[in-house]
Each structure stands twice: as structure tokens, then as C-alpha cells.
């Protein structure tokens, strides 16, 4: 269909099958903040936002510039001790631009391919405002505030050559090169976004430019968008060029009147309002997302919980985003205790997919584009598991229920595809008999263990399914049974 720049029209866009089928994508946070590569450790995003000092003790390394501006913060202390009082954030530019000369995009994308990812989302501009492509609309406040290499273009070319889909993240409302005031509490978080006419034109131009130049299939905006912009013009333009495109849900607009009200409200009320605003909706629809109706009704294709998953099947398509560690940008001070284990990543992907979600797993490259070994290890381990079990992930849909248990209390997840049910057992069993509770299958069912050729012996035991398994020698984090036909 031909989309027009209004809510009724763009809201008719349906989530395309490719995005439902893909299940797993790679997020990339890479920029000036990758040079200092510092943030506090030992705390994750969910924990940090519950604390009163979560802005100054932010675990996200990509927020380096903001925490640097907060007096007495660990980042400010680290920066002064490491670089000196006269060294500014902009002084990282020549260092970054020298380092990116070493980057091999083909090697990076090869890793993503081995990991089993089906799409990639690159941060083109984060909150610091630094651009990763040679825009015809350069920063209005800082000269040469731009990567010396066309990172967006070079990566997009390799991603598409590898047969993966490409998407772009853009920090819509927040741009600290336009607003020097730090975010130090919830009120300033909600009101820090830039609203001047010159910035609105700047951000709009960037979206149209990215769409026209690089032809992404995902638009991933973050932390709102400037008011006094008709978002539907951007959405319709994008969908008319790429009907198979998808748009995330972080486009809320907070106008100046609402900003003034926010500044008068207590911190606890604001925190509660944010929690309410990000709750999932049960059906795909345009909704008010923000503190009040002034945040605006807007269209989106998928929800984006961060460092959190839903505990049930959500009808609206969703995508969990998180780092392998506690930061999106590279934090060189994180160690194995701060990172997900390869086993945890596999189980997390299964859980998300069983509930109608995708996983957008972030990598934080070093300044030269190198993926740290601890991140690479996790990706390659996930890729090896998917080589054996990918048919139970890619192209599947949620079953009538997402979860269950074995008789010995091992967690189970379900996915389905056409006439097949996949039963994911989230640990390697210790014995060669598994009982799946509250599951019966028809007498003519064929039952196999992915990775093995032979059909398995099984029987319905009361309300449960008893399966005799072969000896499993691999140290796999999860095994998958394939049942055809699927039970009704």
C-alpha cells in the first residue's frame, strides 16, 4: 500500500515475516566513548536506576560524557586522574579517528554471521552527538564532530553482502553537543532533549539522509524525539521506500508545557510514571507512551524492553536489548563476573523467542573495531548451539504456552513452526529419561532430539510425556525435542 503521513495510515503497517522469523540481531555501540572505555562495574542497568545516584554511577560506558559532567562522579575522577583536567571529551576525536583506520568490517560481520545473527543495528549517533557517517548535515555546534571513516557505509555494505538485514539506531531527543546540561535525576532525564527548531531540522535531515543513502530496513530511535515534528512523515517516507521495514517504539514526544510540569514533580512520582509508560501492551496498536497524553500517540512495530524480558507471551512483537556485559559501550574494566555466560545467553534467547520476542544482543567494540575476546567467546558459543538447534528458533512462533517443567524441575520452553512443536529443555539432563509435565502427544507422533538422526522412544504417562533419550555427551546448555505433528 501507499502510506500517507498520518497515524491512521502508518498504523496499518504490519510487522513483516522476516522480522518475526529472524529472532536474533546484533546491536553495536561504538564511538568516542570507546576510547576511555570506562564506567562503574558490579551493577546493572535495572539495579542502577533504582538507586538515587544512578546517573553519576551509570554502568553504561556510552554515557561517559554525561557522567563526566557530574561533579564528583567516578567518571570525572577517573578522567582527571587518567587524562588530566585540561583533557576534554572532544580530545578523544583524533584518537578514535586514528584507531578506526585499523577496523576490518568484513571480519566483524563474519563474526556476527558465525554467531547466527540475522540482522545488525548500528548506533549512527549516540547521545554525545558524534556522527559515524559523513553527513551533508554536519553538527551545528562543533566542527569536525564526525568520524573520519564512513563507518555506517562500510558496515552496511558488508552486512548486506553477508545476506543480513541492516538497521540504524539514532539518538533522537538527546544530543549533548547541543545541550551541555548533565542528566542527574529523572526530571532532567525527561527534559534534557533538545527542542530548538534548528535541532529538529537537523535530526529530521539525518533520518532522511540515512534512509536515502544506506537503505536500512530498521529504524531504531532512542529516548524520544523532538516535539513539533510529524513523525508520520518520517514513517510514511520510510515504509513507502521499504514496506518490509520496521520501526521501534521509542519515539515519544514531550512538549515544552509537559517539561515544565515534570520539573515540579517529585522524583518518586516520575519513576512510577516511567514504569507505567513502559509496560507492554497486549495488542499491537498506537498508544500514548510517556507521562501523559502530551507525549503523543504514535505508531511502532515492536516494543523494546532493556535488560529485561517479559514473563509471558506478549501478542505485540517485542525485542529485548542488552549488552553481553552490563554496558553497551565497551567497558575495559568489566570482567567475566560482569558478563553473561555463553550458557545464559542461549537460555535467554530461547526464553525470549518462546514469548514472541527477538534478542538484540549488543557488542561494544574497542576503539579500533576489535570485538573483545570475552564478547567473541559468547557469540561463537551461541552460534555453535544455533547450528544444531536453529530450526527450533528461526521462523518459529509462540505455542499455546511458553513454559513448563520436567519432573525433576528443569525449566522447559516451547516454540512451534507449521506442524511441529519444539520442546526446549534448559539444561543437559543427567539421566537418559526425561518427563515433560503436562504434555501429551498423539500416538502417531514422531519425536526426535535435534542433532540426532534416530526417532526416540516415548509414551504418554498420565498427563506427562516420558522420553527416552540417547546419551548426550556434549556440554550443551539446552537440548531440543522435535515433535511432529504438534499437539493440539
pLDDT in tens, 29-84: 999 999 999 999 998 877 777 765 668 899 999 999 999 999 999 999 999 999 99
C-alpha cell at 482: 522435535
* Alpha-carbon gap, residue 48 to 414, rounded angstroms: 32
How much is the pLDDT for 46?
Answer: 77
Could you tell me the pLDDT band of residue 288, with boundaries at 50, 70 and 90? very low
**Range in 30-44, 272-286, 323-337, 380-394 the model is least confident about:** 272-286
What's the mean pLDDT in 80-103?
98
pLDDT bracket for residue 287 (50, 70, 90): very low
Q: Comparing C-alpha atoms, which of 144, 91, 114 is closest to residue 24?
A: 114
Average pLDDT on 218-228 reads 97
pLDDT of residue 348: 98
- Give the tens place of pLDDT for each residue, 425-484: 999 888 889 999 999 999 999 999 999 999 999 999 999 999 999 988 788 999 999 999
Task: Say what the pTM is.
Answer: 0.96
Cβ 61 vs Cβ 365: under 8 Å: no
Q: Which is nearest to 479 in space by CA: 394, 420, 411, 380? A: 411
**Listed residue (459, 449, 447, 439) closest to 485, CA to CA:** 447
Give the residue-averaged pLDDT of 394-422.
97
Mean pLDDT to the nearest integer, 191-202 = 97
User: Which residue has better confidence, 488 or 455?
Assistant: 455
The Cα 433–Cα 429 span in angstroms is 8
Q: Which domains does the chain have, with CATH numbers?
A: 7-392 (3.20.20.80), 397-484 (2.60.40.1180)
Alpha carbon separation from 458 to 309, 317, 478, 479 (Å, rounded): 33, 35, 19, 16
Phi/psi-derived region of residue 395, left when phi > 0, alpha when psi is between -120 and 50, beta in every other case: left
Query: Mean pLDDT across the stretch 320-331?
Result: 97
Instruction: Quick: pLDDT tens for 134-146.
Output: 999 999 999 999 9
Average pLDDT over the chain reads 94
Report the alpha-carbon distance of residue 136 to residue 313 in Å, rounded: 44
For residues 248-276, average pLDDT = 90
Amino acid at each position: 500500500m501507499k502510506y500517507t503521513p498520518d497515524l491512521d495510515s502508518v498504523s496499518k503497517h504490519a510487522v513483516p515475516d522476516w522480522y518475526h522469523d529472524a529472532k536474533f540481531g546484533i546491536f553495536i555501540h561504538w564511538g568516542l566513548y570507546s576510547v576511555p572505555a570506562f564506567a562503574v562495574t558490579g551493577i546493572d542497568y535495572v539495579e542502577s536506576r533504582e538507586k538515587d545516584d544512578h546517573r553519576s554511577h551509570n554502568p553504561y560506558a556510552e554515557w561517559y560524557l554525561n557522567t563526566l559532567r557530574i561533579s564528583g562522579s567516578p567518571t570525572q575522577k577517573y578522567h582527571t586522574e587518567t587524562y588530566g583536567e585540561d583533557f576534554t571529551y572532544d580530545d578523544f576525536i583524533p584518537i578514535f579517528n586514528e584507531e578506526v583506520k585499523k577496523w576490518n568490517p568484513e571480519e566483524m560481520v563474519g563474526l556476527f554471521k558465525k554467531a547466527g545473527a540475522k540482522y545488525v543495528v548500528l548506533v549512527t549517533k549516540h547521545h554525545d552527538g558524534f556522527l559515524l557517517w559523513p553527513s551533508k548535515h554536519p553538527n551545528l555546534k562543533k566542527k569536525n564532530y564526525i568520524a573520519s571513516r564512513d563507518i555506517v557505509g562500510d558496515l552496511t555494505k558488508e552486512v548486506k553482502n553477508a545476506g543480513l538485514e541492516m538497521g540504524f539506531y539514532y539518538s533522537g531527543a538527546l544530543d549533548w553537543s547541543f545541550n551541555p546540561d548533565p542528566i542527574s535525576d529523572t526530571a532532567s532525564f525527561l527534559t534534557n532533549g533538545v527542542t530548538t527548531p534548528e535541532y529538529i531540522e537537523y535530526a529530521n535531515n539525518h533520518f532522511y539522509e540515512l534512509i536515502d543513502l544506506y537503505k536500512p530496513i530498521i529504524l531504531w530511535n532512542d529516548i524520544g524525539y523532538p516535539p513539533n515534528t510529524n513523525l508520520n512523515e518520517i514513517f510514511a517516507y520510510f515504509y513507502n521506500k521499504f514496506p518490509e521495514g520496521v520501526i521501534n517504539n521509542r519515539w515519544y514526544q514531550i512538549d515544552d508545557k509537559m517539561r515544565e510540569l515534570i520539573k515540579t514533580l517529585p522524583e518518586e512520582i516520575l519513576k512510577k510514571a516511567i514504569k507505567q509508560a513502559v509496560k507492554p501492551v497486549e495488542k499491537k496498536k498506537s498508544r500514548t507512551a510517556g507521562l501523559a497524553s502530551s507525549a503523543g500517540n504514535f505508531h511502532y512495530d515492536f516494543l523494546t524492553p532493556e535488560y529485561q524480558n517479559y514473563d509471558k507471551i506478549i501478542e505485540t512483537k517485542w525485542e529485548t536489548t542488552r549488552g553481553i556485559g552490563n554496558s553497551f559501550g565497551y567497558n575495559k574494566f568489566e570482567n567475566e563476573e560482569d558478563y553473561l555466560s555463553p550458557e545464559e545467553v542461549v537460555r535467554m534467547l530461547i526464553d525470549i523467542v518462546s514469548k514472541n520476542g527477538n534478542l538484540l544482543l549488543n557488542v561494544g567494540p574497542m576503539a579500533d573495531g576489535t570485538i573483545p575476546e570475552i564478547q567473541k567467546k559468547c557469540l561463537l558459543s551461541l552460534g555453535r548451539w544455533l547450528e544444531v538447534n536453529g530450526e527450533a528458533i528461526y521462523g518459529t512462533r509462540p505455542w499455546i504456552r511458553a513454559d513448563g517443567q520436567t519432573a525433576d524441575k528443569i525449566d522447559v520452553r516451547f516454540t512451534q513452526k507449521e506442524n511441529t512443536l519444539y520442546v526446549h529443555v534448559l539444561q543437559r539432563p543427567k539421566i537418559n529419561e526425561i518427563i515433560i509435565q503436562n504434555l501429551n502427544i498423539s500416538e502417531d507422533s514422531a519425536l526426535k532430539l535435534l542433532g540426532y538422526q534416530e526417532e526416540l522412544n516415548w509414551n504418554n504417562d498420565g498427563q506427562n510425556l516420558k522420553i527416552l533419550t540417547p546419551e548426550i555427551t556434549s556440554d550443551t546448555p539446552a537440548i531440543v525435542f522435535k515433535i511432529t505433528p504438534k499437539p493440539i
